[in-house]
Structure 1
Amino acid sequence: MSLRKGHEMTKPRVALLGAILESNRFAPPAELDDFQSLTLLTGDALMSEARSETPKLATEFAAFVRAMDATGDWTPVPCMLAASHPAGPVREAVIEEVIGTCEATLRACGSLDAVYICNHGAMVAEHDHDPDGLLMARVRDVVGPDVLIVSTLDLHANISQRMVDACDLIVGYRTNPHVDQIERGEEAAFSIRRALASGERPKLAHIKLPLVPASVTLLSAEHPYGSLIDFGQRRQAEYRSQILNVSVFGNFLFSDTPDNGLSIVVSARDDQKVAEALASELATKAWSLREDFVRQLTSLEDAVALAKAGDRRPVIFSDAGDNPGGGGSGRTTELLSALYRAGAKDCLYGSFCDPELARDAHATGVGGRFVAHFNRTRNASAPWAQWDVPFEAEAEVVSLHNGEVVGEEGMTAGRRLILGPSAALRIGGITVVVITDRTQTADPVFFNAFGLDIAAARTVVVKSRGHFRAGFSPWFSSEQVFEVDTGGLTSPVHDRWPFQHLPRPNYPMDENTVWSRADLH
């Protein structure tokens, strides 16, 4: 069915909503408080924040609003945007409240021309493996078949057929680290404008492969994932106007769902067969690269030895097993204590999430000394308790901060971050940044806010899996980056986890997994 034409003569009515959560099946559940602490906005408050100079909500959502504002009159219908830092499965009552609020607003708002859904795509709920698809399907049920639905998703999304069936266009990030959210939000807005003006209904094709790579292999500037994304973009350009979007979703391993697996989603302007042909070509290309989606990590012993080595370039370590951006606690001490015991010098370490320790530092004051108790209080029954080992060291308070900062580089550039009371502590030759809010250290502002000189450090350690690469690229090339094999809820080693829901067989867990283009028919 074609969309109604003539929207250029009137102001299109576009609903805006979203639920953003990357779920690590093994992390503690996402509660209502987790959304309230990051983003839980409706109505005018949502639009006001999206239009602010330094919005603290999802970058692509704000970019969508700015692009719609810049391209003509429109009537926004803001429903709700809910976002949490990565956590475990969302509570059933929480996601049902979010979906219910969106449904109620959509029912009450009258006629609509389009809906923009800003989700992550790798959410898990207590009662549903695919709450992203659940939200999208229920939005479709309310607005009916004739209203255009466009969604933006993180490239780590676990794409379900329910998502594809509910949407007219799906726009995935192309970069990891994620530095193209502005472009993707703009693309969603321009796509809505174009479709409403032309009356054309996009056609989607989706293929999922039995390929479940870990996030450390999904860097868009490196082979194989970057090669696959680049190949898709070249082929889209060769199809010219026939193809609207090509997205390659790498999946999020730790969600542990039946929808895990690398997915190809192709959107054609109006020809389903064209979309299917290109999706098939890209899937075949991806499968041919499957053996390249395996990566070796740097051992803890080798990392410590490198930190102590004298004649070398500065390096940056990823504490890969404890990435708050993938559901990690931000409190594991394995790498920190090893570096301290080894006497590492000129080392910056960020960021340790410990509200109690941050309060102790503020009570002590700049220049004061005290015994820093890392993980003084912990829940012994928590999923991450085995890694959140207590650690003590004599500390000097180097600097204090209220934790309100604006990102400077990479994925959080220009975005307001609320880290809570924070401190920089010197323990031996290591300066540790301690924060209150559980957030990955993907931006140099985590050090710069305390007056710490990244360029003067010989070793920088970040609790981040991959996004730090964009934020710290002015100091460290890819050859200076080392992903350390540490324990924690984001350890990217497949055989360490009791997966229960991943589709089997899959590669690399099952080396003899077979797939061919013939499987599509």
Structure 2
Amino acid sequence: MTRIAVGAFLHETNTFAPTKATYDDFVHGGGWPAMARGAGVLKTMRNINVGLSGFIEAAEAHGWELVPTISAAATPCAHVTRDAYERIAREMIDGIEAAGPLDAVYLDLHGAMVAEHFDDGEGEILARVRQAIGRDLPLVVSLDLHANVTPEMVEHADALIAYRTYPHVDMADTGRAAAEHLALLLQSGQKFAKAFRQLPFLIPISWQCTNDQPTMGIYQKLAALQDDAVPTLSFAPGFPAADFAHCGPSVFAYGRTQQDADAAADTIAHVIVGHENDFDGRIYTPDEGVLHAMELARTARRPVIIADTQDNPGAGGDSDTTGMLRALVRNNAQRAATGVIYDPESAKAAHAAGVGASVTLALGGKSGITGDAPYRETFVVEQLSDGKFVAPGPYYGGRDMDMGPSACLRIGGVRVVVSSHKAQLADQAMYRYVGIEPTEQAILVNKSSVHFRADFEPIAETLLICAAPGAMPADTATLPWTRLRAGIRIKPNGPAFVPAKSPPSSSATG
């Protein structure tokens, strides 16, 4: 029987964010499944929308024996601590080395992990795996669409295969695609030629959405280029908040010949560069967005939904800024709801006060974001929850969620979801678990950039994007870049990055 070692280690790192990812964050998982080991991996990572789940399903259909190592993921934030990285990586590598005879390795990785001691978290993992298994054994990897792919990742893996949807409703599908590519490698006993192209400008995440142009059309053309000669072709728009040389979009192709791979990669890269002007759109200030939403809501039959994009915990925000809440209250918005504000202290105070009580809080604003502060007001506690529920929408795909002690608080016509754990508000259940019915609201403000669209677009009158203070600027040119590669444009049609000149070295004289 074909034996495949499998594992997962995922983190999307915003090097400008306020909070680092600790080992305990991976143990809990945030919006991801909790850490699992050995046989627990195959139980935990099954029948949900993650890459490893899709791979497990396809592997069982092929009759392969899976040897699970570890699965671990954490909510996006700043760097993965050295302790967390080394403990998880060591367990994964030890599991592979102890697996006995293997025919291949499959890993579910993100592609945009930065650790305290490694800029290229995945490149280092793949180098260690390659050292453990040798040069000949196939090593196939599924990646997030936001991967910042590096030359080292391409070198060590026999195939990197990225998601094609944002919102990521195809994570499990990508795991299945990785299994089918691995089947080709195992059947032929030969490896495919690789082509890798890094693109010349950063793409802000709000304009990477595959529900809209130009990204939708780019992926349609990409899919049409795949055939027997080029069985795998990927475009990763990248995660534009990691300050290191290989941050940015890329294309990677695998072909029967080098000419096949190069031709496919060059074709799709040319299409993407030709759309540089199109990766842009309207961003509202908090007051502009709320006032526009209130005007639209007068005649709307469905909620007007605002993305609080700069405090997206799926992009490194702490999900606790108060700019959009202040704008809702300041403009007297009615039938409005927002979430999730991460504030364990306020959630605890609400539980202590009880349903129906009025409680004065310093809500949110604790992550030290410039221009933000705790919102000191009196709220009514409308409902309490232990934070445990299922998120059945297309992004989370039926995951068991644990937001910790949570509450619905009300101030005027505005309701607020407050939690003790962080996760991106990308599922309608993240309102319902504290008693808010999202379809009955006039305005919803979600701490998310794009993933919420998978579950909320069907109920939305329209979608707006607002930029309140947060860790993930909607305009990538506003980030204080210091270590990008020379020449990459820091936004579409923006200025090229110029590295600071090192001071001339001097020698002491005596």
Question: TM-score, normalization: structure 2?
Answer: 0.92
C-alpha separation in 1, matches of 2:466 and 2:248: 25
1:152 Cα offset (Å): 0.4
What residue number does 2:45 align with?
50
Could you report, residue by residue, the CA deviation over 1:120-179 in whole angstroms, capped at 9, with x for unpaired residues?
A: 100111122101111011111110111111100001000001001111111100000000
Q: In 1, are the aligned partners of 2:22 and 2:83 still within 8 Å (CA)? A: no
Secondary structure of the equivalent of 1:363? helix
Partner SS state of residue 384, structure 2:
strand
Question: 28-37 or 193-202, which moves further after superposition?
Answer: 193-202
More displaced, 187-196 or 396-405? 187-196
Contact conserved, 2:241 with 2:476, CA < 8 A, in 1?
no
Structure 1 letter corresponding to 2:222: G
The aligned runs of 1:263-274 (5 Å cut-off) are 263-268=250-255, 270-274=256-260
Superposed displacement of residue 189, structure 1? 1.8
Residue in 1 that maps onto 2:172: 182
- Following superposition of structure 1 onto structure 2, how do residues 110-509 of structure 1 map, counting pairs within 5 Å? 110-236=100-226, 240-268=227-255, 270-309=256-295, 311-313=298-300, 314-375=303-364, 378=366, 384-476=368-460, 480-509=462-491
Give the aligned partner of residue 69 of structure 1: 60
Offset at residue 508 of structure 1 (A): 4.8
Q: Is the 8 A contact 1:210 1:503 kept in 2?
A: no
Q: Secondary structure at the match of 1:241?
A: coil
Match of 1:14 in 2: 4
**What letter corresponds to residue 241 of structure 2 in structure 1?**
F
Contact 1:316 1:461 in 2 (8 A): yes
Separation of aligned partners in 2, 1:97 and 1:425: 39
Q: 2:74 corresponds to which residue?
A: 84
Match of 1:40 in 2: 35
- Amino acid paired to 1:407: A
Output the amino acid matched with 1:343: N
Compare 486-495 and 18-27 and name the one that shifted more: 486-495
SS state of the match for residue 393, structure 1?
strand
Alpha-carbon distance between aligned partners in 2 of 1:354 and 1:387, rounded to the nearest angstrom: 18
C-alpha distance in 1, partners of 2:244/2:473?
A: 18
- 2:84, 2:355 → 1: CA distance? 41
| Cα deviation digits, residues 402-444 of structure 1 (max 9, x gap) | 1111112121021111111111111100111111111110100
On the 8 A contact 1:332/1:387 being kept in 2, the answer is no
Distance in 2 between residues matched to 1:202 and 1:195, nearest whole Å? 8
For the Cα contact (< 8 Å) 1:397–1:425, is it kept in 2? Answer: yes
For the 8 Å contact 1:206–1:266, the answer to whether it is kept is yes
Other structure's SS at 2:127 match: helix
String of CA shifts for 1:276-308, please: whole Å, max 9, x gaps.
111011111111111212233112231121243
Q: 1:128/1:272 Cα in 2 relative to 1: closer, same or farther (>3 Å)?
A: same
**Structure 2: any 5+ residue segments left out of the alignment?**
498-510
Q: TM-score, normalised by structure 1?
A: 0.90
Q: Deviations over 1:424-482 (max 9, x none)?
A: 111100111111111110100011223322222111100011100111122116xx100
Q: Do 2:311 and 2:319's aligned partners in 1 also have CA atoms closer than 8 Å?
A: yes
- Runs of 4+ in structure 1 over 6 Å off: none
Shift of 1:513: 5.7
Report the AA paired with residue 194 of structure 1. L
Secondary structure (helix, strand or coil) at the match of 1:412 reads: coil
Taking only aligned residues, the RMSD between alpha carbons, in angstroms, comes to 1.9
Shifted more, 300-309 versus 441-450: the winner is 300-309
CA distance in 2, matches of 1:137, 1:495: 32
Shift of 1:17: 1.7
Amino acid of the structure 1 residue aligned with 2:343: D
SS, match of residue 66 in structure 1: helix
State the distance in 1 between where 2:402 and 2:192 align: 39
Instruction: Give distance in 1, aligned partners of 2:386 and 2:115.
Output: 33
1:199 to partner: Cα distance: 2.2
Count of residue pairs the alignment pairs up: 488
Superposition deviation, residue 193 in structure 1: 2.5
Q: What's the offset of the Cα at 1:65? A: 1.1
Q: Distance in 1 between matches of 2:21 and 2:283?
A: 29
Q: 2:58 aligns to what SS in structure 1?
A: helix
Instruction: Report SS of the residue matched to 2:430.
Output: helix
Shift of 1:387: 4.5
**What whole-Å deviation, never above 9, does each CA across 1:471-512 have from its counterpart, x for those lacking one?**
1122116xx100102111012212322111122322354647
Contiguous gaps of at least 5 residues in structure 1: 1-10, 515-521
Which residue of 2 is the match for residue 517 of structure 1? none
Question: Secondary structure of the residue that 2:140 maps to in structure 1?
Answer: strand
Give the SS at the match of 2:231. Answer: strand
Q: CA deviation at 1:388?
A: 4.3
Task: Give the C-alpha shift of residue 275 in structure 1.
Answer: 0.7
Distance in 2 between residues matched to 1:136 and 1:352, nearest whole Å: 36
Mapped contact 2:16–2:471 kept (Cα < 8 A)? yes
Identity %: 31
Q: Which residue of 2 aligns with 1:7?
A: none
What do the CA deviations read for 1:173-218 (whole angstroms, capped 9, x no partner)? 0000000112111111222233212323222211111111111110
Change (3 A) 1:178 1:346: same
- SS for the counterpart of 1:185 is helix
